[in-house]
Amino acid sequence: MSTTSEHVATQDLLQPLQPPKRYLFGPGPTMVDPRVYRALSKPIVGHLDPYFIQVMQDVQELLKPVYGIQNGSTLVISGTGSAGMEAAVANFVEPGSKFAVFANGYFSDRLSEMAKRNGANIGRFEKAWGETFSDAEAADFIRREKPSVVGYVHAETSTGALQPGHAICAAAHDAGALVIGDCVTSLGGLPVEFDKTGIDIAYSCTQKGLSCPPGLSPLALSQRAMDWLRARTTLSRSWYLDLKLIHDYSTVSHRYHHTAPISMFHALREALMVIAEEGIEKRFERHRRAHRFFVKEIESMSLSMHVPEAHRIPTLNTVSVPKGVDDAKVRKRLLEGPGIEIAGGFGPLAGKVFRIGLMGPLATEENVRFFLQEFSKALKAEGYQS
């Protein structure tokens, strides 16, 4: 015989979903345009249906101006940004090969770990979380390591630091190496400039700068990377993430590889249409304006940014936690009060920074004002006096 409490719990489970209203000012996921939600609700078709094949092709074309790619290929992995990272590693880092990593945050560490599991010989150039690498340092490291593949994080989510890639790519190509660029936090919010930078393999996600729900990982591949992939004679250790098979399914023969998440592709196509209609350069400038306004107001509150001005990510701001303030309590006040989500630091930055995203619909002066008003209230409630 069921108890009263069990009966109440069952009744609760039978209620319609009613997620709380949140303002997603964290590092991701970000706010989603209503048009993208409507696209998610469209009827699904089969993953081999000509309509869906066309949707995949639309997505590949719409991704090109966002990545800044004309001379290579784009495709989409059915999985989150971490699946894109693993696909990049599993397909281009062979067992016994030398993989050189610019390590200055959590996601460069994850990149290293994936390469290690694929049997690579890892060489790491390590710096403190939040620091970046100069052009001369990058060139010296690559000349010294003589790698087959080089990996770096363009926009490091854990620190808010932006790493230029031009010198890294130039030195890597001089050494005959391919370059993997982590663009998870940059794609859609700031220029990646895939072709101009010289990246060979880039991966990202849908839930940050693209303002779409999580679940897909858009990739870009240079012609050099595609030629290398076609010439590879050993099998990728991952069948599911084998880019030869995925490229054939999504671009060439359209033979069955896996059951793609149709609704997520609908959503991504619509999110990319929103970007195209705004104009990619206008979108980048809107995010830069929101960032500049945010920093100006933060400094007027006698708060400081963790990363030097020249290397800040416009879409992801790391604000130093003031002395004597418990960042977790501030974040709790924001979530339980106005429903604002931001993130704290982790690893070496645990308790030291707030990670505040200004992406997609929230990257406007009006929304920044709203956030800062509530952020100031929460800080003062926890004893901060500016």
| Average pLDDT value over all residues in the chain | 96
Determine, yes or no, domain membership for 319.
yes
Beta strand segments in 212-326, E: 216-221, 316-320
Within this chain, do residues 254 and 323 fall inside the same structural domain, yes or no?
A: no
- State the pLDDT confidence band at 14, using cuts at 50, 70 and 90: confident
Cα 380 to Cα 386: distance, rounded to the nearest angstrom: 8
Within this chain, do residues 290 and 242 fall inside the same structural domain, yes or no?
A: no
Say what the pLDDT of residue 12 is.
73
Within this chain, do residues 333 and 229 fall inside the same structural domain, yes or no?
A: no
Chain centroid offset of residue 268 CA: 14
Cα 282 to Cα 262: distance, rounded to the nearest angstrom: 29
pTM (predicted TM-score)? 0.95
pLDDT tens across 39-49, in order? 999 999 999 99
What is the rounded average pLDDT of the residues 323-331? 98
pLDDT tens across 95-147, in order? 999 999 999 999 999 999 999 999 999 999 999 999 999 999 999 999 999 99
Question: Token pair for residue 117?
Answer: 């599991």
> To 10 degrees, what angle do helices 50-67 and 262-278 make?
40
What is the rounded average pLDDT of the residues 226-253? 96
Within this chain, do residues 231 and 342 fall inside the same structural domain, yes or no?
A: no
Determine, yes or no, domain membership for 369.
yes
Mark which of 276, 308, 327 sits at the end of a domain: 276
Q: What percentage of the chain reaches a pLDDT higher than 90?
A: 95
- What CATH number is given to the structural domain containing 237? 3.40.640.10
Beta strand segments in the chain, E: 23-24, 73-78, 98-103, 121-126, 149-153, 155-156, 161-162, 178-182, 201-203, 216-221, 316-320, 340-341, 343-344, 353-357
pLDDT tens across 187-237, in order? 999 999 999 999 999 999 999 999 999 999 999 999 999 999 999 999 999
- What CATH number is given to the structural domain containing 338? 3.90.1150.10
Determine, yes or no, domain membership for 1.
no
Within this chain, do residues 114 and 66 fall inside the same structural domain, yes or no?
A: yes
Helix intervals (H) in 133-261:
135-145, 166-174, 194-197, 223-231, 243-247
Strand partners, 203: 182, 219
Give buried/exposed letters for 151-189 (b at 16+ CB in 10 A, else e): bbbbbbbbbbbbbbbebbbbbbbebebbbbbbbbbbbbb
Count other Cβ atoms within 10 Å, centred on residue 42: 12
Determine, yes or no, domain membership for 150.
yes
Structural domains in the chain (count): 2
Within this chain, do residues 310 and 165 fall inside the same structural domain, yes or no?
A: no
Within this chain, do residues 313 and 264 fall inside the same structural domain, yes or no?
A: no
Mark which of 256, 276, 296 sits at the end of a domain: 276
- State the pLDDT confidence band at 6, using cuts at 50, 70 and 90: low
- Is 89 within 8 Å of 113 (Cβ atoms)? no
What is the rounded average pLDDT of the residues 356-364? 97
- Please tell me what DSSP assigns to residue 204: -
Determine, yes or no, domain membership for 165.
yes
Determine, yes or no, domain membership for 315.
yes
Within this chain, do residues 49 and 107 fall inside the same structural domain, yes or no?
A: yes
Within this chain, do residues 291 and 343 fall inside the same structural domain, yes or no?
A: yes
Within this chain, do residues 215 and 335 fall inside the same structural domain, yes or no?
A: no
Determine, yes or no, domain membership for 69.
yes
Q: Which sign, positive or negative, has the C-alpha torsion 172, 178, 180, 181?
A: positive
Cα 84 to Cα 63: distance, rounded to the nearest angstrom: 15
What amino acid is encoded at 385 in this protein? Q
Say what the pLDDT of residue 1 is.
45
What is the rounded average pLDDT of the residues 316-333? 98
Say what the pLDDT of residue 11 is.
72
Q: Which structural domain range is residue 311 located in? A: 23-30+279-381
Within this chain, do residues 196 and 159 fall inside the same structural domain, yes or no?
A: yes
- State the pLDDT confidence band at 4, using cuts at 50, 70 and 90: low
Say what the pLDDT of residue 2 is.
52
Mark which of 276, 303, 328 sits at the end of a domain: 276
Cα 72 to Cα 315: distance, rounded to the nearest angstrom: 26
Cα 72 to Cα 220: distance, rounded to the nearest angstrom: 7
- Is 355 within 8 Å of 345 (Cβ atoms)? yes
More confident residue, 9 or 283: 283
Within this chain, do residues 216 and 243 fall inside the same structural domain, yes or no?
A: yes
Determine, yes or no, domain membership for 2.
no
More confident residue, 153 or 9: 153
